Amino acid sequence: MQVLNGHRTIRKYTGENISEALLRKILYSGTRASTTGNMQVYSIIVTRDESMKNQLSPCHFNQPMIKEAPVVLTFCADFNRFNKWCRMRDASPGYDNFLSFVTAAIDALLVAQNVCVAAEDEGLGICYLGTTTYMAEQIINILELPQGVVPITTVTLGYPAEDPPLTDRLPLDAIVHHEKYSDYSADDIDRLYGEKEALPENIAFVKENNLQTLAQVFTEVRYKKSDNEAFSKALLSVLEGQGFMNHQR
C-alpha cells in the first residue's frame, strides 16, 4: 500500500544500470497479474541498446526519458504467440477481431501496472509514455512486431535522480459512484476541480501558455482535437494492419 500511495512519476534517472536479474524479477511479478482465461496474450519488449533507444525516441516525441533511462519496456497486446500455438494444435484461432485486441490490451496493461509496482518496490522509478498508441505504426516497424501484436504502452525504468512531491488528484468522490452513475452538476464540477485549479503550479501553467483556464491548456495545447483525430485514424489503421479488424471485411 505504501508503494502504491507513494507513487510519483520519475523522469530523471541516475546513470546506474538495472541488472538483468533484477529486471527479470520485476517482469516475473508482472506475469503474476490476472490474464483473460490464463491466455497471457501480451509480450514485453526490453530496450537497453542505445541505437534502439535513438530509433524509438522520436516515436515518443523525443521525451528525454527514452534515451536517459537504462531500460525501456514496450508492453504489447499479443495474439501472435497464442495463434501459432492454436494452429500447431489443430485448433482454429478466432482472434483476428476488435474484441480480441481489447482483451489482449487489457492483459498487457494489468501486467504493465504490476511491473511498475514491483519496480517501485525495488527502489526504481518509472514513467509511463502515452505516446505509444499515437505512434504505434512506427514502433511496430522499429521493434519488428508481427501481425497480431500492437504496442499499448511504454514504461521507462531507472534509479531515481529526482524526488518530486506527490501529484494532485481529484477527490475520491469525483471518481467513485454508488450503485449508479451520478452525473455531475455544474456545482459538482466547480467543487471537484476547485483544488486542482487553485494550485500555484497550475495557475502558473495557464499563464505560461497565455490562456484563461487550465482546461484550455488541455484542449488547446496538450491534447488537441486535431491531434487526437489524426492519432485515432492512425491507430484504427494499425489495428487493421495487424489483423484485428477482420470481422469488418
| Residues in 30-69 that interact with a second copy by CB under 8 A | 31-34, 36-40, 42-49, 52
Residue linked to cell 495487424: 242
Kindly identify the residues of this chain, within the stretch 178-217, that bind a second copy according to CB under 8 A. 178-181, 183-184, 186, 189-190, 192-193, 212-216
Q: How far is the CB of 186 from a second copy (least distance, A)?
A: 6
Please say which residue, 14 or 25, places its beta carbon nearer to a second copy. 25
Task: Decide if residue 153 touches a second copy (CB under 8 A).
Answer: yes
Q: How far is the CB of 12 from a second copy (least distance, A)?
A: 16
The residue range among 11-19, 58-66, 157-165, 224-232 that interacts with a second copy, by the rule CB under 8 A, is: 224-232
Q: How far is the CB of 68 from a second copy (least distance, A)?
A: 18
SS3 category, 157: strand
Q: How far is the CB of 69 from a second copy (least distance, A)?
A: 15
Task: Decide if residue 138 touches a second copy (CB under 8 A).
Answer: no
Which one among 97, 159, 160, 241 touches a second copy, defined by CB under 8 A?
A: 97
Q: Per the structure block, which three cell numbers stand in for 50?
A: 542505445
Please say which residue, 62 or 170, places its beta carbon nearer to a second copy. 170
| C-alpha–C-alpha distance, residues 29 and 65, integer Å | 23
Q: Per the structure block, which three cell numbers stand in for 88?
A: 500447431
Q: What are phi and psi of 243, to 5 degrees?
A: 90, 30
| C-alpha–C-alpha distance, residues 71 and 81, integer Å | 24
Q: Is-contact 46 23, C-beta < 8 A?
A: yes
| C-alpha–C-alpha distance, residues 147 and 108, integer Å | 16
Q: How far is the CB of 15 from a second copy (least distance, A)?
A: 20
Four-CA torsion 105, 108, 113, 117, nearest 10 degrees: 180
